[in-house]
Chain A
Amino acid sequence: MSFVVNNVQVLFAGLALGSIYALVALGFVLIVRATNVVNFAQGDFAMAGGFATVAFLSSGLPYWLAFVLALVVLGIFGVIFALGVYYPLRNRSYLPVIISTLGASIFMQNAALYIFGPQPRAMNRLFDKPGIEVGGVFMDTQYLAILAFTALAVTFQYFLFERTMLGKKLQATSQDKDMARLVGIPVAAMIAFTFFYSAVLGGLAGALVSPILFVSIGMGSIIALKAFAAAIIGGFGDITGAIIGGLLLGVVESFGAQYISVAYKDAFAFLLLFLFLLLRPQGIFGEKISEKA
């Protein structure tokens, strides 16, 4: 294989992996914008998405229906999460909420362990054909599906936020809750919707990545950490930043594993994160970190 083809191959895999991080990072960012809170259970939505799809598939449902039902289940999870984990603590500082979401993460993982057992589950791929070859580059169909679904989700989100009344209300809620409340926007419902939507995004990421990674109870944590790193690298609170950050992270990881070390593949994301926090803590697109007096 020539040098160029080889690198394009690595880049392709990196972008697909990065798309997964980007989807979960989007969920992070939307919740941060709406509530100023970081949801440490975001990755476990992906885990739940994987398990839900596997469960529906093994009960004999067609792939598309299992997929859709899994997303519905995740949406419900999101709303329960908003009501049970975030809402009671909404008037406290960020610290209790962070810890509460960590508790939720432990709960979800161990509930999954109890229900599905410790064995990782394999999941069928979306297409039977393993891949297509373009100019010597082998493109895995599952990776192509990940890229396509991510592009679709990002486009959908753009229209939702920029072109609909619901999107405007969500934006108003994230910018100034008090003012939004005064003009009659149901803030609590908007926040619940944000959790709903973020959980669906996480579930989508989980369902898409599961055929590659196996479905396991620990898969969420590692995806969440990478996604969180992606969100910071992109500029915390910035939607475009989350996507770019996710893709960048996937590519760095892919090349790092190729040329440096497979064993330390997971460490590259964190090293990149350290570098960003030291040199450019506001990320690529920048978040205002100073506090107003």
Chain B
Amino acid sequence: MNRVPASTGPAQSARANRVSFGKVLFALVAVAVACVPFVVPLTPYVLNIFMQAATYAIAVLGMTVVLGYAGQINLAQATFFGLGAYAVGLGTVVLGLNFWLTLLLGIGLATVAGFVLGLTTLRLGGHYLAMITISFQQIFDLVLVNWASVTQGPDGVAGIGRPSLFGFQFTDDRFYLVLCLVFLYAAIAFVWWLPQTRTGRAMRAVRENALAAEVTGVDTLRVKVIAFTLSAALAGIGGAFYAAGFAYISPDNFNFARSIEFLTMTLLGGADSAFGGVFGTGLLIVLPEWLRFLKDIYLAVYGLAVILIMVFLPAGIWGIVRGRFDRFRKFDSVDVDSIAPLQLDVPLNDPAPILKLDNVAKHFGGVKAVDGISVEVARGTVHTLIGPNGSGKTTTLNVLNGIYKPTSGTLTFDGVDITAMTPHERAGLGIGRTFQNIRLFASMSVVENVMVGAQRANNPVGTGRAALQERALSALKFVGMAEQMHMTVKNLPYGHQRLVEIARALAGHPSFLLLDEPAAGLNLTEKKNLGELLKRLKGHGMTIFLIEHDISLIEQVSDTITVLNFGKKIAEGEPGYVLRHPDVVAAYLGETADAAA
């Protein structure tokens, strides 16, 4: 067995080997493709198809970022593509500007449009986003056609010239194709590199579970806007080279149908990978050539194909290819002993309570889920919230970490008023959380899940990839899951998923940990281990706010218990006192206070 010390990162070395092999392969194929037109005699028609594929692929790589990585739908990619194209077309033909200047202008236009559209609409997401992007696409189309004094209307812009660089004119199609390919390769490299970065990881976390990502400390809106803006910028580049390549552009090239085409290319190839998108583009551009025999029904078959891809190829063609290879992929085993122990200590020198809820209420319409409760949580204690079903426990937790805004009342954490803060800002203050129904980033690996936890703002660990991974491994070792670091989370058994979720919270070095029914669904041994774990955490000075139903666990770990019923606090104190309190017994057993007493 090949044991690698964890400090250099077992995953890293494995990945480094794999990536360097991949990089070499990529470089070889890239050079080979660029040489093809000079070796094999190609007709101008075939060169045109290549040029189209290369420029489309750049726009499709944008879709990979926004749809594949960040999971946000964008049905206006042709608009951003069009902004790049029209900037070059009108810029060079009408204004007589230099191509490279108009290229920058086009990228700038597309980027700004993407940023503004993203910023205003991405908080809605889902079908709203789909609709808004379609509307944007339609308005763009209307403007292109109707604002003829500027856009030259439905006739389009003709006579767009090829660029020159250092005196070299790209008039020969073959050389221009190489220029397009250079930009395409740069885009591929960028999109390939992105998922392993901090932002890329955050994007995938948002795709997998936006709510959990936000609570773990990811500024989800920011990450989505970044993805959308990058996507628009890539489309702008593609559009700019398209315009100069084909010399003529018209509104028809940038309509809704084109956006759908970009979408289909992304999905067909595989949205989750840079190569999938490029592969899908090539296939869909060549396909019409092969499917000529279908003639008039080609587009109908194409629509049908979209449905079939969604049903039978959810990960795209590249996803299937990669799945085949992944089965043979081997990871070096993890040397758990060499992983540094998790640094968790929270200083306990301030006697003031760490958290104060002052008369907090949360109403849903007429339902008073939480009806004016005041609670103080002392530092370094386990504070348990109990109450019958529907008493407002989880609502309280959701108000605590900002998923709900309270109807009234204030929340103070560590002397800071957090009432108006977003969940990720609260995570940045050191509030960690687990969920009643586990919310992990299901198709990411165990260690990546925990790294997302480690990269919260203000986490007192390094920000580099190595530091984040080290922190994540320490957190996994702490819960006893380090050996499974490479496994995909959705393949783990339930109990292990719970532990990964706790590790994700711990990796963020929280001073305050919210746990929503952590014992639910665990067997006796697992429950016992959980109790031990909570005591260990408390030993490090961490404050734990717990919702739980398991009485033996509650008695074992709690310092203070608060009891809720119908959204109000009915008792509070030490376990021995609270659990025998007549009102509490009545609330649980449904007897009146008098009868129980």
* B296 lies within 8 A of A102 (CB): no
Which residues of chain A are near B126, meaning CB under 8 Å? 94
In the assembled complex, the Cα of A154 lies from the Cα of B73 at a distance in Å of: 33
Nearest opposing residue in chain A for B311, CB measure: A88
A136, CB-defined interface residue at 8 Å: no
* B311 lies within 8 A of A274 (CB): no
B88 to chain A, nearest CB (A): 25
Given contacts A105-B303, A228-B131, A293-B435, contact A264 B142 (CB under 8 A): yes
Please choose the segment from B90-98, B133-141, B177-185, B242-250 that sits at the chain A interface, where 4 or more of its residues have CB less than 8 A away.
Answer: B133-141
B297, CB-defined interface residue at 8 Å: yes
B367, CB-defined interface residue at 8 Å: no
* A111 lies within 8 A of B300 (CB): yes
Which residues of chain A are near B394, meaning CB under 8 Å? 293
* A95 lies within 8 A of B303 (CB): no
* A232 lies within 8 A of B307 (CB): no
* B124 lies within 8 A of A289 (CB): yes
Given contacts A96-B314, A107-B300, A225-B134, contact A277 B124 (CB under 8 A): yes
B373, CB-defined interface residue at 8 Å: no
* A38 lies within 8 A of B130 (CB): yes
How big is the B interface, by class?
35 or more
In the assembled complex, the Cα of A108 lies from the Cα of B337 at a distance in Å of: 62
Contact with A along B252-291 (1 / 0, CB 8 A): 0000100010011001000000000000000000000000
* A104 lies within 8 A of B307 (CB): yes
Nearest opposing residue in chain A for B398, CB measure: A293
In the assembled complex, the Cα of A225 lies from the Cα of B139 at a distance in Å of: 12
* B299 lies within 8 A of A232 (CB): no
A163, CB-defined interface residue at 8 Å: no
* B138 lies within 8 A of A225 (CB): yes
Contact with B along A216-243 (1 / 0, CB 8 A): 0000010001001100100010000000
* B124 lies within 8 A of A281 (CB): yes
Which residues of chain A are near B311, meaning CB under 8 Å? 88-89, 100
A1, CB-defined interface residue at 8 Å: no
Contact with A along B294-319 (1 / 0, CB 8 A): 00111110111111011100100000
Q: Majority SS of interface residues in chain B? A: helix
* A273 lies within 8 A of B132 (CB): yes
Given contacts A113-B299, A114-B297, A293-B398, contact A94 B127 (CB under 8 A): yes
Cβ < 8 Å to B, chain A residues 60-116: 84-85, 88-89, 92, 94-100, 102-111, 113-114
Which residues of chain A are near B135, meaning CB under 8 Å? 225, 229, 269-270, 273-274
Pick from B138, B304, B310: contact of A107, CB below 8 A.
B304
B403, CB-defined interface residue at 8 Å: yes
In the assembled complex, the Cα of A172 lies from the Cα of B304 at a distance in Å of: 32
Q: Majority SS of interface residues in chain A? A: helix
Which residues of chain B are near A94, meaning CB under 8 Å? 126-127
B71, CB-defined interface residue at 8 Å: yes
* A110 lies within 8 A of B299 (CB): yes
B128, CB-defined interface residue at 8 Å: yes
B146, CB-defined interface residue at 8 Å: yes
A183, CB-defined interface residue at 8 Å: no
Given contacts A89-B311, A114-B300, A273-B132, contact A291 B142 (CB under 8 A): no
Given contacts A84-B307, A263-B146, contact A106 B260 (CB under 8 A): yes
A278, CB-defined interface residue at 8 Å: yes
A153, CB-defined interface residue at 8 Å: no
Nearest opposing residue in chain A for B209, CB measure: A291
A218 to chain B, nearest CB (A): 10
Which residues of chain A are near B403, meaning CB under 8 Å? 290, 293
B211, CB-defined interface residue at 8 Å: yes
B121, CB-defined interface residue at 8 Å: yes
In the assembled complex, the Cα of A114 lies from the Cα of B295 at a distance in Å of: 10
Nearest opposing residue in chain B for A38, CB measure: B127
Given contacts A274-B135, A293-B211, contact A103 B128 (CB under 8 A): no
B415 to chain A, nearest CB (A): 26
Pick from A99, A113, A114, A273: contact of B263, CB below 8 A.
A99
Given contacts A89-B311, A94-B127, contact A100 B256 (CB under 8 A): no
B120, CB-defined interface residue at 8 Å: yes
Which residues of chain A are near B307, meaning CB under 8 Å? 84-85, 100, 103-104, 107
* A98 lies within 8 A of B142 (CB): no
In the assembled complex, the Cα of A109 lies from the Cα of B296 at a distance in Å of: 12
Which 3 A/B pairs are nearest by Cβ-Cβ distance?
A: A103-B306, A107-B303, A106-B303
Residues of B that sit less than 8 Å from A by CB: 67, 71, 73, 120-121, 124, 126-128, 130-132, 134-136, 138-139, 142, 146, 210-211, 215, 256, 260, 263-264, 267, 296-300, 302-307, 309-311, 314, 394, 397-398, 403-404, 435-436, 439
- Of the A-B pairs whose beta carbons lie under 8 Å apart in the complex, a sample of 22, sorted by A's number, is A38-B127, A38-B130, A38-B131, A88-B311, A89-B311, A92-B314, A95-B67, A100-B306, A106-B260, A106-B300, A107-B300, A110-B298, A110-B299, A110-B303, A111-B297, A114-B296, A225-B138, A229-B135, A232-B128, A267-B138, A293-B394, A293-B398
Q: A38-B131, A102-B306, A269-B135 are in contact. List 8 more A-B contacts (CB 8 A).
A: A92-B314, A111-B297, A111-B300, A273-B132, A274-B120, A281-B124, A291-B210, A293-B398
